[in-house]
Structure 1
Amino acid sequence: MNSPMPFPWQRAATGANLLSPDGTLGVTIFEEMTTLALQTGAINLGQGFPDEDGPVEIKAAAQAAIAAGANQYAPGKGILELREAISLHQERFYGLEPDPQTEIIVTTGATEAIAASLLALVGPGDEVLTFEPFYDSYGAIIGLSGARHVTAPLLAPDFMPDLAALDAAFSSRTRVVLVNNPHNPTGAVFPREVLERVVELAIRHDAVIITDEVYEHLTFGARHIPVATLPGAAGRTLTISSAGKTFSFTGWKIGWLSGPEHLIAAARTVKQFLSYSSGTPFQSAIAAGLGLPDEFYAGIADTLQLKRDILSEGLRAAGLDVFTPQGTYFVNVDTAPLGITDAVELARRLPALVGVAAIPVPVFCHPEGAERTRSLLRFAFCKRIDVLQEAAERLATLRDRL
């Protein structure tokens, strides 16, 4: 017990902002807000999961696979049918052609792909660079690995990085730069010039790029550019995506990882001792889903954009400053126009106050970033239209209720 943090779970908890300075272990903000929503009957716009299922043909494919007996372990790297479908999807949308045999593995959601990649590639003495705010599992896994988590800020209102600050965040110890694009929690979609700077800096510092692209098809008027398509990037980039967000089957936990063979082999070595394999009949169904026509992919983005706009109208009526996202499930607002500068405190009051739950953005940051985003709240709009209309009406009363 010579070290102040001798156990891996403590490093993970600290990385995810769950461990207080006095050593008290808290719950995730998602659990806290969900509990408050249940206690008050509030509409839960905190955690980002849909409240309606995805395409019936994908559900039917899963049912057919179960009936046909696809109920035992899948191969550790995923069934060949899905790996081939992922390769075809990458070629169809981005011109990439990963080898299904050696350059793709199927994972238990994107979360496992992130964990396997980081645990395979970094350790004590290394640095992992992410943008800030950052998805909480990044901090947890970086902490678990023993590496140091370094951040570069994304700045409102458009949540683009300051490129000089990004340059300064790299060092000789930067082993991995982890890029979430489209970005959760801000909803930013990074343009080519930002991504090219990331690649340029990764090459200069000989860093691996890991990209979390789970919202790749959920963009609104902005083009998603996979980092692996940029000059000089393919040989040092691991690309992560999943079926959960695209197809609205988050509970199936089917994700994937693609990239050069030597990096995939490293990640697979760790992944096989995490879950080994998962969701055999679901893998077959997602293979079918990846072959859906272009109209499907355009349609899900259009529907989500409509939902974004419905909720945003209610947030503006509440007197909040709305930062319109270019992608993802989330819209962020600034509570400062209402004279409120503590989003965490407001998030805890909101379910009882107006019957809607949200997530405060500071929980996705280190202390300095938490101060910078102190007055920001994140709302999820991946819900039914009638639910969002009701939430918008409730939120429009916020100014009067405060």
Structure 2
Amino acid sequence: MLDIPKPPFHRANRLASQKVSEILAIGARAAELKKQGHPVIVLGAGEPDFPTPSNVIEAAHRAALDGQTTYTPLAGTPEMKAAIVEKFRRENGLDYAMNEVIATAGAKQVIFNAFMATLNPGDEVIIPTPFWTTYSAMVDICDGVPVTVTCSGESGFKILPEQLEAAITPQTRWLMLNSPSNPTGAAYSPEELLKLLEVLERHPDVWLLSDEIYEHIVYDDFPAVSPAALSATIRQRTLIVNGVSKAYAMTGWRIGYGAGPADLIAAMTVVQSQSTSNACSIAQAAAIEALTGPQDILTERRDNFQTRRDFVVEALNEIGGLSCRKPEGAFYAFASCEGILGAKTPDGQVLTSDREFCSWILETAHVAMVPGAAFGLSPYFRVSYATSREELEEAMARLATACAELELPA
């Protein structure tokens, strides 16, 4: 066989700062340990452990049998767009026209379309930190500049009005809000949102991207309100991002949707026309049923998540060296391990960071968690409680046992 020289591969400059998600790397290591026979419990998943509702699956089946297997209009079928419009009217008190909504291949594509359609080199996007790291990655890829603003546990991991004001420059194009949040579960009250909107009122060139994917997973009667419903002025420069992945356990169906000014949606549709084209026709039919069919399952599953949240937060706070704020929503607990730093493990290793702590827990207690450093804030770690109560109880017991073996700093 001829020895043909391998041609050089030239990676695009836009990927220079990008790498595979740390969450995926942790998942890969957990899978490797499982292969070796270790009973690993993974608390890193960003998806519900519930099945897709049966009525949704049946709707997809009917659509396939009825021949809904061809291309659809770029921004979604008329039925899909009508379901999105009705959802916003019914649940958020917002009236959108059909040309003000778009259906995409997952909520992530809504964000990517928006940045690709609006960012020029050097344009800035303010991102409260900790944050889902895909936000900054997409800004980078679209030639923008992510401006991260650290939001401490003392502020409930939420950006304060004075922080927002200080972060805005003539180059600022967007503010990103994710409420409830990944990774912290923190959510903004209507009063907190209004104070942030007052800042935006003074800066008419700054638009708001509101990621509301976890809006149905809120606890203790917390009022999940869209900022677009609080200010008619700000609504004119707000893009709402949502989807069926979290509330309806449809992560693999890849259906997201957005709502905003018609000019923005039109520009995003141009981007989509040159990338994925339309979202999957059958998945759109399933999403229509999810949005328009019976909604009682949302309450049932939210209550289940709240029970898990209460258990996990209490268990974490009972472990010496750890502390955890009770989140308002989502299915994550974001706990501090500051009291662990400097501790010595039984084999003599000194744990100096949240990454080292999470790695040690994975290798010894076989519980996979994600360090806060992956989301831009240390020393914390994220626990997803989107798994069974039995696994959560076992994971918390292992974590407590492991931490009890540490020689904590004086």
- State whether TM-score is above 0.5: yes
Tell me the equivalent position of 1:229: 229
By how many angstroms is 1:149 displaced? 1.2
Give the drift of 1:119: 1.0
Inter-partner Cα distance in structure 2 for 1:305 and 1:121:
38
Secondary structure of the equivalent of 1:336? coil
Provide the secondary structure at the position in 2 that maps to 1:290: helix
**Any conservation in 2 of the 1:353–1:401 contact (CA below 8 Å)?**
no
Q: Letter of the aligned partner of 2:269 in structure 1?
A: R
TM-aligned CA deviation for residue 99 of structure 1 = 1.3
Residue pair 2:248, 2:298 contacting (<8 A) in 1 also: no
What's the counterpart of residue 145 of structure 2?
Answer: 148
Q: How many Å apart are 1:360 and its aligned residue?
A: 0.8
Paired position in structure 2 for 1:23:
none
> Does the C-alpha gap of structure 1 residues 126 and 291 become closer, same or farther in structure 2, counting only changes over 3 Å?
same
Q: Structure 1: which amino acid aligns with 2:136?
A: G
Confirm or deny that 1:351 pairs with 2:366. Answer: no
Deviation at 1:395, TM superposition (A): 2.1
SS at match of 1:265: helix
Distance in 1, Cα, partners of 2:30 & 2:65 = 38
Aligned to 2:164: 166
Report the counterpart of residue 388 of structure 1 in structure 2: 392
Q: Which has the higher helix share?
A: 1
CA distance in 1, matches of 2:272, 2:202: 29
Q: Of residues 178, 184, 187 in structure 2, which corresponds to 1:186?
A: 184
Per-residue CA shift, 1:300-354, capped at 9, x if unaligned?
2211111212323332343321121111121011112234551111122222221
- Offset at 1:294? 4.7
Provide the secondary structure at the position in 2 that maps to 1:160. Answer: coil
- C-alpha distance in structure 2 between counterparts of 1:60 and 1:266, whole Å: 34
Moved more, 73-82 or 390-399: 390-399
1:2-401 paired onto structure 2 within 5 Å: 7-11=13-17, 13=18, 18=19, 27-41=20-34, 42-100=40-98, 102-157=99-154, 158-205=156-203, 206-221=205-220, 222-231=222-231, 232-319=233-320, 320-340=322-342, 341-365=352-376, 373-401=377-405
Aligned with 2:276: secondary structure? coil
Instruction: Please list every run of 5 or more consecutive structure 1 residues that lacks an aligned counterpart in the other structure.
Output: 19-26, 366-372
SS in 1 for 2:47: coil
Kept after mapping to 2: 8 A contact 1:181/1:216 = yes
Alignment-derived partner of residue 369 in structure 1: none
Q: Matched residues in 2 for 1:311 and 1:54: separation?
A: 24
Q: Which residue of 1 aligns with 2:345?
A: none
- In 2: Cα distance, 1:330 partner to 1:147 partner: 29
Q: What is the percent sequence identity of the aligned residues? A: 29
- Alignment match, 2:346: none
Q: Decide whether the 8 Å contact of 1:361 with 1:378 is kept in 2.
A: yes
Report the number of matched residues. Answer: 377
3-state SS in 2 of match to 1:262: helix
Contact 1:77 1:268 in 2 (8 A): yes
**Could you tell me which amino acid in structure 2 is paired with residue 32 of structure 1?**
A
Q: 1: distance between equivalents of 2:389 and 2:79?
A: 35
3-state SS of the aligned residue for 2:45? coil
Q: How many angstroms does 1:6 deviate by?
A: 6.6
Give the secondary-structure state (helix, strand or coil) at the position aligned to 2:362. helix
CA distance in 2 between counterparts of 1:148 and 1:197 reads 25
TM-score normalised by length of structure 2: 0.87
TM-score by length of 1: 0.89
Residues 54 and 6 of structure 1: CA distance in aligned 2, closer, same or farther (over 3 Å): closer
Deviation per CA, 1:126-167, whole angstroms, max 9, x where unpaired? Answer: 111111112111111110121211122211042232321221
RMSD of aligned alpha carbons: 1.8
Q: Which whole-Å CA distance do the structure 2 matches of 1:108 and 1:153 have between them? A: 30
Q: Is the partner of 1:239 in helix, strand or coil?
A: strand
Question: After superposition, what is the alpha-carbon deviation per residue over 1:97-124, rounded to whole angstroms, capped at 9, x for unaligned?
Answer: 1112x01110111111100001111111
Residues 271 and 200 (structure 1 numbering): CA distance in 2 closer, same or farther, change over 3 Å? farther
Contact residue 155 and residue 162 of structure 1 kept, 8 A: no
| Alignment partners' CA distance in 1, 2:364 and 2:234 | 48
Ranges in structure 2 where 5+ consecutive residues have no aligned partner: 1-10, 35-39, 343-351
Q: SS of the counterpart of 2:16? A: helix
1:34 and 1:175 map into 2 onto residues whose CA distance is 34
Judged with a 3 Å threshold, the aligned counterparts in structure 2 of structure 1 residues 314 and 119 are, in CA distance, closer, same or farther, namely same
* Residue identity in the other structure for 1:327: G
Does structure 2 retain, via aligned residues, the 8 Å contact 1:238–1:258? yes
Larger Rg: 2
Partner Cα separation in structure 1 for residue 283 and residue 96 of structure 2: 22
Q: Name the CA distance, whole Å, in 1 between partners of 2:124 and 2:192.
A: 20
User: 1:235·1:259 contact (CA, 8 Å) conserved in 2?
Assistant: yes
Structure 1 residue 54 displacement after superposition = 2.5
* Residues 14-65 of structure 1 deviation map (CA, whole Å, 9 limit, x = unaligned): xxxx3xxxxxxxx321121101211223111113122331211111211222
Tell me which amino acid in the other structure corresponds to 1:380: S
